[in-house]
Amino acid sequence: MYLKNTTTFFMNTMSGLPQLIYFLLFKTSPSQFLKYQFRSPLSLSLSRRRSFQIVKSMEDDSTIVPREGTEFESEEAAKMFYDDYSRSLGFVMRVMSCRRSERDGRVLARRFGCNKEGRCVSVRGKSGSVRKPRQSTREGCKAMVHVKYDRSGKWVVTKFVKEHNHPLVVEPRQARQTLDEKDKRIQELTIELRNKKRLCAAYKEQLDAFAKIVEEYSNRMSKRVESVVENLKEFEHIEQ
């Protein structure tokens, strides 16, 4: 009778494990485990556009253009400013030459210009003959802006060439519309990626908690099994 009761107790205890697993897997959800707090992130280009700070503003022109003496907080801020300027006028910015420090290699000066700057050079094939050139996009445009790192810690415009020697074929409105569409898509993908990351983190945290509970349950069951085995041994010894 004692053996039967002990065996029944052991089986009832073991039968509770599937119920525990079912509860952990189907009765809880990541939303119960982690409450999401989303903030719509700014798109990459929007945040970059807002990152620069112009120390000396230019109030005279309706279209903000670079001027000699204009200061920026960083090289990246100057780049973003000229990139916005190029989009508003309808040309594509190109990052051009730079001057570096001989001591530590830091960039001390940078030049940004139009993508139609310079001329294409003829390229010779393996046989030595000049290959048929592709249609060139270079037209020798000299439009550019030169910024230099100042001792004050600012980046200062030291030279600005405004005139282009070619038509600005891209209308500013069309360029801005394309930019806004890209911003919107980047924002959507950024939000989706952040949601996926948070969901994965929630599942991982839930899985870790489940593994911990199972481990604790397994340890308790091991102790109970050992107790049952000891009782069986004592019962067999009494019968003998």
85 and 37, same domain (yes or no): no
104 and 203, same domain (yes or no): no
What is the predicted pLDDT for the residue at 53? 37
What is the predicted pLDDT for the residue at 186? 80
Q: Which two tokens stand for residue 172?
A: 């500013």
108 and 197, same domain (yes or no): no
86 and 150, same domain (yes or no): yes
27 and 68, same domain (yes or no): no
Whether pTM exceeds 0.85:
no
164 and 177, same domain (yes or no): no
Asked whether residue 132 is domain-assigned, the answer is no
Asked whether residue 212 is domain-assigned, the answer is yes
State the total domains in the chain. Answer: 2
219 and 188, same domain (yes or no): yes
3-state SS, one letter per residue, for the chain: CHHHHHHHHHHHHHHHHHHHHHHHHHCCCHHHHCCCCCCCCCCHHHHHHHHCCECCCCCCCCCCCCCCCCEECCHHHHHHHHHHHHHHHCCCEEEEEEEECCCCCCEEEEEEEECCCCCCCCCECCCCCECCCCCCCCCCCCCEEEEEECCCCCEEEEEEECCCCCCCCCCHHHHHHHHHHHHHHHHHHHHHHHHHHHHHHHHHHHHHHHHHHHHHHHHHHHHHHHHHHHHHHHHHHHHC
Asked whether residue 136 is domain-assigned, the answer is no
Q: Which two tokens stand for residue 83?
A: 């990139």
Q: Which domain holds residue 229?
A: 17-41+171-240
CA 196 to chain centre: 13
What is the predicted pLDDT for the residue at 63? 56
What is the predicted pLDDT for the residue at 156? 93
Write the pLDDT tens digit of every residue in 49-96.
433 333 333 334 445 778 888 889 999 889 888 888 888 888 888 888
58 and 75, same domain (yes or no): yes
Asked whether residue 78 is domain-assigned, the answer is yes
156 and 218, same domain (yes or no): no
Look over the chain and give the mean of its residue pLDDT values, rounded to a whole number: 70
Write the pLDDT tens digit of every residue in 141-185.
888 899 999 988 899 999 999 888 888 765 555 555 555 666 677
